[in-house]
Amino acid sequence: MTETPPEALTSDPAAPQIAQSLAEIRVKGRGLFSRALVMVNGDLSFDEEHSYRTPIAGARSGGTTRYSLAESKDDGRGYQGRVDKAQARMSKQDSEVAVLQETWDWIEALHSSFPDGAHIRVVVVGNIGPCTGCKARLELFRQDLIGLFGAGRVIVESVYDTKQMFMTKNYEEKYEDYETGTTSTVSTTYGYEFATVETYQPPNAPQSVSYWLYQVG
């Protein structure tokens, strides 16, 4: 294997935790899995007071939550203006839905204890890039954080390690609430077209770890 040139390695201080999360997700096997790394003022202790590592969530972990887009009863938090209704319904139980809810709950509970002017970085790590519906959820989540922390103090990123930067798939899905009850084809894109490659070299490890990273917004 060709050694990665030092200048090509990431300088991200959170890279070890990102690589560890990808490894822990990988052993889960087939399926969609995600977790979030939440860092306030750059804290990397993950002591659950200044930073937080959510549990790994699998597909069907989500549902009727703040970020479902499909069943939220709160005004202005539905799919309208963000994503097609079919996209929202198809992905409402993806792992990202549960992870974003878990992350929001932690932030909301502790926000008053953060120092004035605090900034926050949330990295959503998964084995598959977010679908079209979950991209809209990440945008909504980022707007929620800006409402708490202020513009310029929020970074939300998506990390995944598929071979392809992004890929589009077509699904045939039947939605019970459609008046016609017909089956329609839904096209969704996983991952981001303009993601960048990050490479981390674990200490004393023979092989580096590479992944896609995209900053939302």
Q: How confident is the model at residue 84 (pLDDT cuts 50, 70, 90)?
A: confident
Residue 67 and residue 76: Cα distance in Å, rounded? 12
pTM of this structure: 0.90
Domain that holds residue 196: 6-215
Please tell me which residue, 116 or 181, carries the higher pLDDT value.
116
| The total number of structural domains that make up the chain | 1
Q: Which H/E stretch holds residue 186?
A: strand 183-191
Instruction: Note whether residue 1 is domain-resident.
Output: no
Instruction: Note whether residue 89 is domain-resident.
Output: yes
- Contact between 102 and 57 under an 8 Å Cβ cutoff? The reply is yes
Please tell me which residue, 5 or 85, carries the higher pLDDT value.
85
Tell me the sheet residues that pair with 156.
122
Residue 91 and residue 187: Cα distance in Å, rounded? 12
Q: Apex CA 27: angle with CA 214 and CA 89, to 5°?
A: 55
Residue-wise pLDDT for 57-73, tens only, equals: 998 887 667 899 986 55
Q: In sequence order, which ranges of the chain are alpha helices (DSSP H)?
A: 15-26, 85-90, 95-110, 132-149
